[in-house]
Amino acid sequence: MTATRYRAGALALVLAALAPAALAHAEDLAIVNARVYTEPGTVIEQATIVVRDGRVRAVGPNVPVPAGARSIDATGKVVTAGFIDASTRIGLVEVELEQTTVDGSFPGAGADVVHAAFHAIDGYNPRSVAIPVTRAGGVTSVVTAPQGGLVSGTGAWVQLVDENTAAEPILMPAMAMYVNLGEAAMSSVGGSRSMAVERLRELLADASEYARRRAAYERNQTRPFAAERLDLAALAPVVQGRMPLVVRAHRSSDIRAALRLARELRLRLVIEGGTEAWMLARELAAARVGVILDPTDNLPSSFDRVHVRDDAATLLAAAGVEVAVSSLGSVSNVRMLRQLAGIAAANGLSPAAALAAVTTVPARLFGLDRGQIRAGAVADLVVWSGDPFELSTRAEHVIIAGKEQSTRSRQTLLFERYRKLPSR
């Protein structure tokens, strides 16, 4: 496999449209008189949240406000943990049809279909114009990951901080390995879904062998492996159980094949897409495999999605499967994450499970301590004007790691500019 140069960037002209936002507040903060969802299903009325040094220091109905703390009156408002989208391409794509702004999207066909050594974080653009728009929708962190090929590479967990806060946007630079099965991989490996599973099994077995015999490999004392050194090294944490393997698959037979593979090699498996995952709900629950899905992906748009259902998330959750709701690889529509969760709730998912699907579940799937409001937790908070799953609700205050963020974006700037047209 020849070395590939991965390009990252964004259109300077587009980025220039964003005016500098005010610097985030760094002082102590108190949110008072709020209806606080400390975790899905647990509500405290008339509560106060005290934030200091980027973390929640106290939350409860009788918590005193520290002297000198800036207060946000949340009377009649709802406070939740910041929302998390477990599958996006934010920061990797700016304009889909302009190739110089697209990073980490690999064509399906060709000999070079293994990109395990590709790290999304190397191409991540923290100044993407999609970030302020997404943040204004109450989304405080996302997983951004590459797409395409048989093995796409590693995704990263990033927090959507305002570029003027000087905060570190990267939470986990390499938090999961992404692979494709089913129709997404068939063209990569010769038109057979079984061949995709065979090739993936061979890759993972060779990665395990490489991890055990790295010194012998360096001395050229091993048999030829199915991938090159950097790809094998990148897959080593997966076969050692230290990194989740996210399998993008929709058809139930492909998901079952992924379950068999995970059982054979003792992998930490997560299913992404999962249109037909509801058909294997008991097996997924028994294997403790979570599913990331889009509840609006509800049409039989391909032969991999013949058995689609509107209430797939509900059926999975009822069986004990951890379900994360996601925009599934989107960029511009991540801002609609709360609407997606609301649609899942409208199709039977309990409000608590819908909130968990965009807070605690994504955090648990990838091992990050986010998604709750409790003493000691990172202060990712959103003050909503009402029920966050209602379309008329707005995110009035967005706080990431204890710092209030700007909710202005290119859209609001254009709105302000053209709200009053000059008279002729």
Q: How confident is the model at residue 19 (pLDDT cuts 50, 70, 90)?
A: very low
Tokens representing 114 are: 């293994």
pLDDT, one tens digit per residue, over 201-245 is 999 999 999 999 999 999 999 999 999 999 999 999 999 999 999
- What residue ranges define each of the domains in the chain, with the CATH number in brackets? 18-81+371-424 (2.30.40.10), 83-368 (3.20.20.140)
At 373-387, the pLDDT tens digits run 999 999 999 999 999
Using pLDDT thresholds of 50, 70 and 90, give the confidence band for residue 109: low
Under the banding of pLDDT at 50, 70 and 90, the label for residue 141 is very high
Per-residue pLDDT band for 164 (boundaries 50, 70, 90) equals: confident
- Please choose, from the candidates 397, 307, 329, the residue with its C-alpha nearest in 3D space to the C-alpha of residue 143: 329
CA distance 155 to 83: 18
Task: State residue 166's pLDDT score.
Answer: 61
With CA atoms as reference, report the closest residue to 247 among 146, 151, 362: 151
**Which residue is it, tokens 């003027």?**
164
Strand partners, 404: 399
Q: Please give the sequence-ordered ranges of beta strands (E in DSSP) within 132-193, or none if there are none.
A: 139-144, 151-159, 170-180
Q: How confident is the model at residue 111 (pLDDT cuts 50, 70, 90)?
A: low
Angstrom distance (rounded) from CA 298 to CA 359: 23
| Whole-number Å distance between alpha carbons of 304 and 290 | 19
Residue 420 pLDDT grade (very low, low, confident, very high; cuts 50, 70, 90): confident
Closest C-alpha to 321, from 296, 344, 346, 287: 287
Mean pLDDT, rounded, of the chain: 90
d(CA 117, CA 315): 36
DSSP letters for 87-125: EE-TTTBS-TT-GGGB-SB--SSSS--B-TT-BGGGG--
CA 49/CA 72 separation, integer angstroms: 10
pLDDT in tens, 240-276: 999 999 999 999 999 999 999 999 999 999 999 999 9
Instruction: Please give the C-alpha separations between residue 186 and each of 113, 148, 195, 379, in angstroms, as whole numbers.
Output: 11, 11, 8, 43
* % of the chain at pLDDT higher than 90: 81
**Could you tell me which residues come within 8 angstroms of residue 42 by beta carbon, excluding any fewer than 6 positions away?**
none
Separation of alpha carbons 336 and 136, rounded Å: 10
Q: Tokens for 215, please give them.
A: 């010194």
CA dist 73 and 77 (Å) reads 9
Residues in the chain: 424
- Average pLDDT rounded to a whole number, residues 12-30: 47
Q: Distance between CA 265 and CA 174 in Å, rounded? A: 21
User: Is 328:294 a contact under the CB 8 Å cutoff?
Assistant: yes
